[in-house]
Amino acid sequence: MFNDKSTITEPHPTTPNVEEFLTEYRFRVYDTLLAVALSICTVVGLPSNIVSLIYFYSGRRRDFSSFTYILVCCIDICTCVAHLPVMISLYNLRRPVVFAEALFCISWSVVFYYLQGISMFLVMLLSVSRSIKLINTYHRINKKALLYSFILYTVFHLILYNVPPVVGNDGSMFYGYSRVDVYCYYELYAKPLSYIDQLIHSIVIGIAPTVTTVSFTIFVIVLFRKSRVSQKNNKKHRAAVTMAMFSALFLTCNIPCLLNNILWFLTELSYKREYPEPFYSGDFMFFYSWLISDVFCTVLNATLNPVLYFCRIEGLKRWFKRKLRGTLSLSKNNIRSMRLSVISVVSTNWASASI
């Protein structure tokens, strides 16, 4: 399915050289800082998302929003783990390390882009559903619609990421690890297939942030106009504000990815991969724009989501404190029991020795 060109790991020879780039101390520092930031995201995001998932799953509510939050937590847990190969490569001067295995490299690319896309898709559904609910309080959204849309998106993603490798099987594509971007991806070279592929990818990436932006704007306008919501039910008002903050966080972390895809598509269309060009000729844009917009921002979003849950959802805070107190109390009881057991054994042995 893949030819020898899938093992290429260096950019076009007329573009900036990775080895020369890595000889500069400041860029090695930048790479290390990004790796440390990704490490912090794992340490904070992974346990926080697991706790949030347990809370949402153990709750009595099984409505559309709760079910979506459960799926978002699952996706965020996977995202906090999926970036580890990128982090390892950053710690190792952008060497492939685990990406050196071709099958793993290709599989990682499909999985990570799926996690990125489905996360955007779920937040879009959640934002739109909450906006509809705020406008029409009595409207109910069926959970089956969410499940069907989830399955359809998964099928669409699998098709999207399997057709280009088949089309580019004649050697007119790149599929592998790039030290420039520090992750694996595919890229078609043949025209006009490369333009069509990039356009489809930009549209797919752009739909969720665009729809969420419109939904978020409507949501905020209606929220401020319906002041009676806060007077009648403060809990519903707080939930609405939380959803607005959730959407705003999503847009902040994903707009860079959308803008980068649009900029790359326009660059390909106007300059046809000629170097230098006005956008990606600088070292920062060339070596960091995709790494930050595609990987770091996605992982950052997955890390900050549970932080927002803990700050805004009172039920989660009370549940976590109750579980923490129970765990600490159980630990104290276990320690006390062990201490008494040790004292009893020592006393028995001492008494036996005395006799």
Give the homologous superfamily in CATH for domain 4-325: Rhodopsin 7-helix transmembrane proteins (1.20.1070.10)
pLDDT in tens, 24-35: 888 888 899 999
pLDDT-based confidence at residue 37 (cuts at 50, 70, 90): very high
Are 163 and 120 in contact, with CB atoms under 8 Å apart? Answer: no
pLDDT recorded at residue 197? 73
pLDDT in tens, 120-146: 888 888 877 777 776 666 666 666 777
pLDDT in tens, 254-301: 888 888 888 887 877 776 666 656 777 778 888 888 899 989 999 999
Q: Which amino acid is at 205?
A: I
**Ramachandran region, residue 184 (left: φ > 0; alpha: ψ -120 to 50; beta: rest):** beta
Q: Which residues contact 275 (CB under 8 A, 6 or more apart)?
A: 12, 14, 15, 281
% pLDDT > 90, the chain: 15
> Cα(first)–Cα(last) distance of the chain, in Å?
82
Comparing 184-193, 231-240, 279-288, the range with the smallest average pLDDT is 231-240
pLDDT recorded at residue 44? 93
In the chain, beta strands by DSSP E: 173-178, 183-188
Which of 69, 63, 44, 84 is closest to 303 using CA atoms?
A: 44
Residue whose entry in the numeric block shows the structure tokens 């998964």: 154
In the chain, where the domains are located: 4-325
Q: Is 2 helix (H, G, I), strand (E, B) or coil?
A: coil
